[in-house]
Amino acid sequence: MKQQKAIVLLSGGLDSATVLAVASRDFDCHAISFDYSQRHVSELQAAERLAQAFQAYHQVIHLDQGVMTNSALTEMTMGVPVDGPTEGIPVTYVPARNTIFLAHALAVAEVQAASDIFIGVNAVDYSGYPDCRPAYIEAFERMANLATRAAIEGHQLKIHAPLIHMSKAEIITTGADLGVDYSMTVSCYQADEQGRACGRCDSCRLRREGFEASGLEDPTRYQ
More confident residue, 30 or 193: 30
How crowded is residue 114: how many other Cβ atoms within 10 Å of its Cβ? 23
- Residue 80 banded pLDDT, cuts 50, 70, 90: confident
CATH 3.40.50.620 assigned to 5-214: yes
Phi-psi category of residue 55: left, alpha or beta, with phi > 0 → left and psi -120 to 50 → alpha: left
CA distance 181 to 123: 23
Nearest to 80 by CA among 72, 88, 89: 72
Query: What pLDDT was estimated at residue 48?
Result: 98
Summarize pLDDT for 183-209 with one digit per residue, the tens: 999 999 999 989 999 999 989 999 999
pLDDT digits (tens, 9 = 90+) for 120-178: 999 876 567 899 999 999 999 999 999 999 999 999 999 999 999 999 999 999 999 99
- Identify the three-state secondary structure at position 57: strand
What mean pLDDT comes out for the span 13-19? 97
Tell me what the mean pLDDT of segment 86-92 comes to.
Answer: 78
At residue 205, the pLDDT reads 92
pLDDT in tens, 31-70: 999 998 888 789 999 999 999 999 999 999 999 888 888 8
Q: What is the mean pLDDT of residues 69-91?
A: 78
Q: Of the candidates 199, 205, 202, 190, which has an alpha carbon nearest to the alpha carbon of residue 221?
A: 199
Collect all residues with Cβ–Cβ distance below 8 Å to 136 and sequence separation of at least 6. 98, 121, 130
The answer to whether residue 30 scores a pLDDT higher than 90 is yes
pLDDT of residue 86: 67
pLDDT at 85 over 70: no
Least confident of 78-82, 94-98, 163-167: 78-82
| Rounded average pLDDT over 205-219 | 96
80 or 157: which leads in pLDDT: 157
So what's the pLDDT on residue 129?
Answer: 87
Question: Which uninterrupted H or E stretch holds 144?
Answer: helix 134-147
More confident call, 95 vs 87: 95
Q: What is the arithmetic mean of pLDDT over 77-86?
A: 74
Over range 59-84, report the average pLDDT. Answer: 83
More confident residue, 31 or 74: 31
Q: Which residues contact 142 (CB under 8 A, 6 or more apart)?
A: none
Higher per-residue pLDDT: 75 or 195:
195
| Beta strands per DSSP E along 67-122 | 116-118
